Structure 1
Amino acid sequence: MGLWQSLMPNEYVSSIYEIDLEKLWNAGLRLILTDLDNTLVPWNHPSVPDTLEQWLKRAHERGFHVCIVSNNASGRVESFSQVSGLPAVGAARKPKPEGFRKALDRFHMRPEQAVMVGDQLFTDIRGGNRVGMYTILVLPIDRNEWWGTRVVRNAERIAMAGLRMRGLKRPQGSRR
C-alpha cells in the first residue's frame, strides 16, 4: 500500500453525527472503532455529552458494537470507558496494528466488518487502512490538543493538501 493510499479515508465528514449508520450497516460493517479525544469528545473531556449518548444509543440500537481505540494513556481511556460504558483499548500505539487487532478479537470480527473513525490521518486513518478496515476521518472537535498532536498537525496539513489533489473532498465548515 502506497503512502497516499494508506492515508486516504473512505469518507471525510465534519463529525461522528454525520456518519450514515444505515449505509455502514448495509455495507456489512458491524463494529465501530473510534478514537476518543477530539473525535468523540474534546481533548481530556471527562464526561459523555448528551449528543454523544444519543448517537451511541442509535448505533447500539442498529446493532453496532462500539469500541474506543486510543493512543492516550490507559488511565484516561479507562476512566472514559467507565463513564461511557464503552469497551476500550488504551495506549493502542496506532497506527501499529496491535491495538486494532485487540479490539477486533474482542468482538470476534474481521477487519472487513469494522470501521475506524478518527480525527488524525497518521494514526487513525493510516492504522485502520493498514489493517484493512473502512475508515472515516472527522474534523477535530476542538483546537485544544496534546502538544504532540499539535506538532503532528503541521505534517498532516501538508498530507491533506496531497489528498485533496487526489480527490479528497473537504466537509462543509472544514478548516483542513
Structure 2
Amino acid sequence: MMFGYLYPKICAAAIHEIDALKLKSKGIKGLIVDLDNTLIPSKSDYLAREVREWVEKIKKEGIGLCIVSNNWQKRGRKIAKILDIPIVMIAFKPRKRGFKKAMKIIGTKRHETAVIGDQIFTDILGANRLMLLPILVEPLNLNEPIQTRFLRVLEYRFVNHFHEKDIEWM
C-alpha cells in the first residue's frame, strides 16, 4: 500500500534525541542523514553544539554516517567537512540512487541502515522504498521554500494519524 510507505517507524523531536544504543539494539550499523532541517536549519550554516556532540556519540558507538541531500550548495560540503562525514549531494530523494550510494559508502546492508530526516515525501518515502529503518524528526526551521511548505501541508495529514500507527518515539 502506497500510504504505508509514508509512515516512519520511529519519531523524535530532534536528531540529537535519537539514542545510539537503541539504534544498535535494533541492529543498525549505519545512518543516512538528511541535511536541511535535520542537521542544520534550512538556508543556514548554523551547526548546533548538540548536533556536533550527537554525531561524535554516534561515531564512538561505531555507527557509520553519511549525509544524503537533494541540495547542491557548497554549505552541504562545508557541514560534512566540519562533521567529518561523507555526503551524497543532488540525491533526488525519494529515488533510490542516493540512498544506495550512501549505503555503499558506509558499508551497510539494508537491514543495518536507518534514514533520519524531516520530510515524509523524501526521506521517509525513500527509506521505506528500500526497506531501510525510517526515522522522522521535526524540522528545525519552518521558513522554507513554497514547494516545501506545500508538501508540509500534505505531511501534516499523515502526522495526525501517527498515534494510530505502531510508531516508536525517542
* Alignment TM-score, normalising by the size of structure 1: 0.88
Following the alignment from structure 2 to structure 1, what is the Cα–Cα distance between the partners of residues 87 and 11?
23
Contact 1:48 1:84 in 2 (8 A): no
1:36-115 alignment to 2 at 5 Å? 36-115=35-114
Contact 1:35 1:70 in 2 (8 A): yes
- Structure 1 unaligned segments of length 5 or more: list them: none
Q: Which residue does the alignment assign to 1:137?
A: 136
Deviations 1:47-79 (A, max 9, x none): 432111111111100111111111111533223
**Cα RMSD (Å) of the superposition?**
2.0
Following the alignment from structure 2 to structure 1, what is the Cα–Cα distance between the partners of residues 78 and 70?
14
How many residues were matched structurally?
170
Q: Which residue does the alignment assign to 2:162?
A: 164
Following the alignment from structure 2 to structure 1, what is the Cα–Cα distance between the partners of residues 8 and 26?
16
Q: Tell me the secondary structure at the aligned position of residue 150 of structure 2.
A: helix
Q: Percent identity?
A: 32
Q: Which residue does the alignment assign to 1:34?
A: 33
Q: Tell me the secondary structure at the aligned position of residue 143 of structure 1.
A: coil
Residue 168 of structure 1 and its aligned partner are, at CA, apart by 6.0
Following the alignment from structure 1 to structure 2, what is the Cα–Cα distance between the partners of residues 155 and 24?
29
Structure 1 residues 74, 106: CA separation in 2 closer, same or farther (over 3 Å shift)? farther
Q: Tell me the secondary structure at the aligned position of residue 43 of structure 1.
A: coil
- Structure 2 unaligned segments of length 5 or more: list them: none
Residue 118 of structure 1 and its aligned partner are, at CA, apart by 0.5
Following the alignment from structure 1 to structure 2, what is the Cα–Cα distance between the partners of residues 76 and 147?
21
